[in-house]
Copies of this chain bind each other. A is one copy, B any other.
Amino acid sequence: MESIDLHIKRELLEYLVLIRRFEERVKVLYHQGAIMGAIHLYIGQEAVAVGVCRSLRDEDTVFSTHRGHGHAIAKSGEVERIMAELMGRDEGLSRGHGGSMHLFEPPKGLMGGNGIVGGGIPLSLGGAFTAQYQGSDRISVGFFSDGAVNQGTFAECLNLAALWKLPVLLVCENNQYAATTPVERSTAVRDVVGRARAFGVRAEKVDGNDVEAVFQAATAAVAALRQSQGPRLLECETYRVEPHCGIIPDERTPGERELWNPRDPVSLFVGRLVGEGAISASDLEALERRVRERLDRAVEFGARSPWPDPQVDPHRTWVLQ
């Protein structure tokens, strides 16, 4: 496995911190009522979005989930307009029509989240199909978690992707929970990699809290996909730190969350970079300041952005011809 260039490591760190701090802001804004709807925080899983999305080109398509802020930021970088969208504003990524679960930035290959567990997987095959159809070496990524592997779409898509050798990277963020259901109560066989292989999809398990491991595995998979070697699956072991969703209380066994603290993807990577001498304490301070200022601007941008005007909004179903 090739080692990762320093400037890429710094980029990975920047995104990790950006997403973490973004989500912390969102949590506060949600409890203040400035952000509404169903909000699923990504805290604890940042290494997956960053490791995968930063191995992609803009033109590669990403199909995300209900827990999609991390994917959206890592793929598009549009922090300000994502914040505005969560606040329901006209300058939001989806002009206030989609909200947290439906973040779209097509020029950057961000093709939306999904409110339906497992619903985005078939769409992600579509992105891969288009690339293959056009003879392009673009690839497509479908994110989902351990709950979604029990939706029929997952199995159907494993088979179809393998059968048609579609350039799709299926990324399972095994974060141990689907809402309040722990993974051992939802699957008889914990191993998602094994399922994928039984359908003919090459699959690999990776530490989803280690951004370098994810980045390297994704980079290798993406390279193979660009060479038409057929679909791949990455199972990223990780942990959902926050409750499932804004409105849902969390009732995990006390202490369980703390067990994961040493595996926190941000601290882990910071520690490693500091250890390697790749960054200094003052680099880190500067980074945190940069991120804080950017998020201040993002919140301000969101708060200033006008509400979408229902009079202007066409209230129409059909795209004009």
Q: Which residues of A contact B (CB under 8 A)?
A: 150-156, 159-160, 162-163, 185-189, 194-195, 197-201
Contact = CB atoms under 8 A, between A and B. Distances in A.
A199 B150 CA distance: 10
A163 B186 contact: yes
A76 B195 CA distance: 37
| A contact face: mostly helix, strand, loop, or mixed | helix
A151 B186 CA distance: 20
A282 to B, nearest CB: 50
Contacts of A185: 163
B187 A163 contact: yes
A183 to B, nearest CB: 11
29 contacts: A150-B159, A150-B160, A151-B152, A151-B156, A152-B152, A152-B153, A152-B154, A152-B155, A152-B156, A154-B155, A155-B155, A155-B156, A159-B187, A159-B189, A162-B188, A162-B189, A163-B185, A163-B187, A163-B188, A188-B199, A188-B200, A188-B201, A189-B199, A189-B200, A194-B198, A195-B198, A195-B199, A197-B198, A198-B198
A190 to B, nearest CB: 10
Q: Which interface residue of A153, A187, A189 has the most chain B CB atoms within 10 A? A: A189
